Amino acid sequence: MKHIMVDIETLGTDSNSVIISISAVAFDIVTGKFGNVFEVGISILEQAIHGGVVDNDTITWWASQSKSAKKALTQIQTKDYKFDGIKHNGIDDCKHQIKYCSDAYRSLK
């Protein structure tokens, strides 16, 4: 399948918001058929330690969501990759993020 839909759940709406999860589904855009899926939770604490922001309005919004939506967030398996290099160095940050992307891509193929 040549197309991938990605969904990112966060604790805010700004670019520095803490990410809760990244999900992806391969699909055929012509037929609408689904292929392989990928989902990973990201450590909230690790992101907060490194400057990730949690927005109170977003926490309130999440609190107003259905029980099943909140439960789904707690059941996502968290995967942490060892960080090599200097955190917040652009190149090293990119290399670290590639680990998540590569893992997602391999699981969707």
Structure confidence by residue, pLDDT tens digits, 10-63 = 999 998 999 988 888 888 888 889 988 888 888 888 888 888 999 999 999 988
Q: Is the pLDDT of residue 109 over 70?
A: no
pLDDT of residue 18: 92
| Domain residue extents for the chain | 3-108
41 beta partners: 21, 78
pLDDT at 7: 87
Q: What pLDDT is stored for residue 45 in this prediction? A: 86
Residue-level pLDDT at 75: 72
The residue among 36, 43, 38 whose CA lies nearest residue 11 is 43
pLDDT confidence of residue 88: 65
Exposure string for 24-41, b = 16+ CB within 10 A, e = fewer = bbbbeeeeeeeebebbbb
Residue 16: per-residue pLDDT: 92
Strand order of the sheet with strand 3-10?
Answer: 3-10, 19-27, 34-41
Rounded Cα–Cα distance for residues 28 and 33 (Å): 5
Statement: residue 97 has pLDDT above 90: no
21 phi/psi in degrees, rounded to 5: -155, 155
Neighbour-count burial of 4, counting CB atoms closer than 10 A to its CB (0-12 exposed, 13-18 middle, 19+ buried): middle
Residue 32 C-alpha from the chain's centroid: 23
pLDDT confidence tier of residue 72, bands split at 50, 70 and 90: confident
